[in-house]
Structure 1
């Protein structure tokens, strides 16, 4: 049951990595167009921002799977395995609760944008829901991975002091 969620998180992480790569290409293109050819684009900045938002939210579950979220663990690292497991479980529960809230309200905002036809104020006028949908999807993936990691932690099948890979 846990392996498919890991695979989804890894696939989302790879997709995010490619999105960041494309952002780099867009930015290089924009710099050359603007400063070499004196012909800036109307799309580069907005599409880069769009991809950055999606890549960031898509990468979150993958980062949790690899246990590379930012953490202050100086006290936990110095404690015994029982306290480490308890602290890890508590942290995962906080992540799960936050994800539930973000998915609920994020989906509501995206649905509202679809309903009223909200769009960006740029020349491209990208529908807002295309960006806003990254929040419930990204946090939904993070929620699934956090539940997976909690199951592993409670089952004792993970070493929280080291990453998975």
Structure 2
């Protein structure tokens, strides 16, 4: 039940956030056409595309973990049989992943709340609010954390996922 919930949540977030790439690509094209075609660059496009890229990059961490797309160092585990490999992977999550994800979640939450309280903005020509991106960091940390729980549960319960197609 938790595995399906956490996997499903990160799957939905990943698919929705993928559309952000289309939006910021269109914004960049729009700005380039205005800048070079009409000599009338926008004041907002550069800052806004940086923020959208931040959303895109940070919010896909849980989705990437769900699909095993993170960089891994399998020098030790590739030579192990399935059972010892599962034990090593579980220990890796417990020793390395969860402490990192917890610090990432708690610190990014503090970071986001401080930015929100200060009504922090960018310093460019158009002063965009910064706190949405910082709140996205905290949300991303939470998504990464719950996906880690899902991955460990799969290892403990020895649940194999069918290969992802499309």
Please say whether Structure 1 and Structure 2 have the same fold, judged by a TM-score greater than 0.5. Answer: yes
The aligned runs of 1:143-158 (5 Å cut-off) are 143-158=145-160
Q: Is residue 65–residue 164 contact of structure 1 (8 Å, CA) maintained in 2?
A: no
SS of 2:76 mapped into structure 1: helix
- Structure 1 gap ranges (5+): none
Runs of 4+ in 1 over 4 A off after TM superposition: none
Shift of 1:44: 1.2
- Aligned equivalents of 1:65, 1:57: Cα separation in 2: 14
Number of aligned positions between the proteins: 162
- Aligned equivalents of 1:118, 1:23: Cα separation in 2: 22
Q: Is residue 66–residue 164 contact of structure 1 (8 Å, CA) maintained in 2?
A: no
User: What does residue 33 of structure 2 align with?
Assistant: 32
Aligned Cα RMSD in Å? 1.6
SS of 1:136 mapped into structure 2: helix
User: What does residue 70 of structure 1 align with?
Assistant: 71
- Aligned equivalents of 1:88, 1:52: Cα separation in 2: 31
TM, length-normalised to structure 2: 0.90
Shift of 1:142: 0.6
TM, length-normalised to structure 1: 0.90
User: What does residue 43 of structure 1 align with?
Assistant: 44
- Aligned equivalents of 2:74, 2:40: Cα separation in 1: 49
